[in-house]
Structure 1
Amino acid sequence: MEPAKIKRLEDKGWKLGSASEFLELSPEKSILIDIKLGLSLNLKERRQRLMTQAELAEKINSSQPRIAKAENGDDLVSIE
């Protein structure tokens, strides 16, 4: 964001910061979220080059909805 716009917003009482600051995340939680996001994006990019969600699910004895959840970073899918 351009400095002039930041100044205008701050002059009007807005406080600018990161999502982590807004959500009051600990540094550890913020890092974990970054890792999970990176893993889900990488999974999706790599899978799209090779096969469909259904094909991947069949190969790993899972389901297509579970693959979709993993690719979207759903909290119900663990990184383990």
Structure 2
Amino acid sequence: MNNNLNFRFGMYEPATDSIIVNTGENSILVIPCKECNSSVIFDDLTDIVYLYWLAEETPLLYAKLALKESGLQDYVDAMNWFS
């Protein structure tokens, strides 16, 4: 994956449960949340709420974490540590 993507704008699209990112290169990147979330191991199944909150409130951060190996897992683990 190209780590030099320039994310200009991102939004959560509830109809498709995905993050749509404008990369600033006349192209968009679509990140399917269901697919990305399925790679995360949850201590408690209700912890998935952390990822839905992240996708809805800060879609660019969700996109950046989803593109990093274990980025979403590390996020959920950190949220569990703080709570």
TM-score if structure 2 supplies the norm length? 0.25
Q: Which structure is richer in relative contact order (CA contacts within 8 A, separation 6 or more)?
A: 2
Task: Report the structure, 1 or 2, having the larger strand content.
Answer: 2
More helix as a share of residues: 1
